[in-house]
Amino acid sequence: MNIVIFGPPGAGKGTQSNLIVKKYKLYQLSTGELLRKEIQNNTELGKKISSIINLGNLVSDEIVRNLIENYISKNIYKNKLIFDGYPRNLTQAKNLDVILKKNNQKIDIALKLSVGLKTIKKRILERKNLEKRADDNEQIAIKRYETYEKNIKPVIDFYKDSNLLTVINGEKPINEINDEISGLIKGIKGWL
Ligand code: AMP
């Protein structure tokens, strides 16, 4: 069971991934969180990417590919990953497929959380008070939303064509979304 979950900033990817990993003993792989950790730890990579992230742009496909490959290749994560915030574009979706194949794995479910810009702005401003993320201000949130919209269409088509895509209304209450995702997971043959 490997899942990808994508959606605009503030769609609830992190919240839902968190709930699912606890319920089904999976592991959350948030590329955004891994990148923020690099910045916090002031690593060479962190120094290189902080301005890119703080401007709401995407870091290079190569950097995130290396991050996810580290996880996918480890046995404890085998068939137990939720990719939160990856892939963000078609190249990343294809890279993910190649790496998974190399490790005898695949994606079982692709979830798209749909949320309108008005809700996103509201959620991001609320989150700013809780998490203190440098990229959670209105201007950068809009930029991140635009970056998402600009790149995601071919990713949606990619998973639609593979019959893996489920679109979820991300404006619904957290528990309803969670029930919907749980239903999908339970429907996967050979799982549970
Ligand atoms: P997130 O926590 O998913 O909202 O990601 C925060 C920021 O990290 C994004 O705005 C990007 O700058 C960067 N980032 C996260 N995931 C990716 C990815 N898959 N590809 C490129 N950049 C990413």
pLDDT value for 174 = 97
For residue 163, how far is its CA from the centre of ligand 1 (angstroms)? 25
For residue 58, how far is its CA from the centre of ligand 1 (angstroms)? 6
User: Kindly report the CA angle at 181 between 177 and 68, in degrees rounded to 5?
Assistant: 110
pLDDT value for 87 = 98
Residues with beta carbon inside 6 Å of ligand 1?
9, 31-32, 35, 52-53, 56-59, 64, 85-86, 88, 92, 135, 144
pLDDT value for 138 = 83
Residues 6+ apart with CB under 8 A from 39: 46, 49, 50, 53
Residue range 72-100: average pLDDT?
97
Helices (H), 61-173: 61-72, 90-102, 117-131, 138-161
**Between 86 and 132, whose confidence is greater?**
86
Give the DSSP per-residue string, 33-58.
HHHHHHHHTT-HHHHHHHHHHHTTPP
pTM: 0.93
Report the distance separating Cα 51 and Cα 94, nearest Å: 26
**Nearest protein CA to atom 22 of ligand 1, as residue:** 58
Residue 150 pairs in a beta bridge with none
For residue 94, how far is its CA from the centre of ligand 1 (angstroms)? 17
If one residue of 88, 140, 147 were mutated to test the ligand 1 pocket, choosing by the most ligand atoms within 8 A of its CB, it would be 88
pLDDT value for 90 = 98
Two structure tokens written together for 166: 């489920």
**Nearest protein CA to atom 8 of ligand 1, as residue:** 32
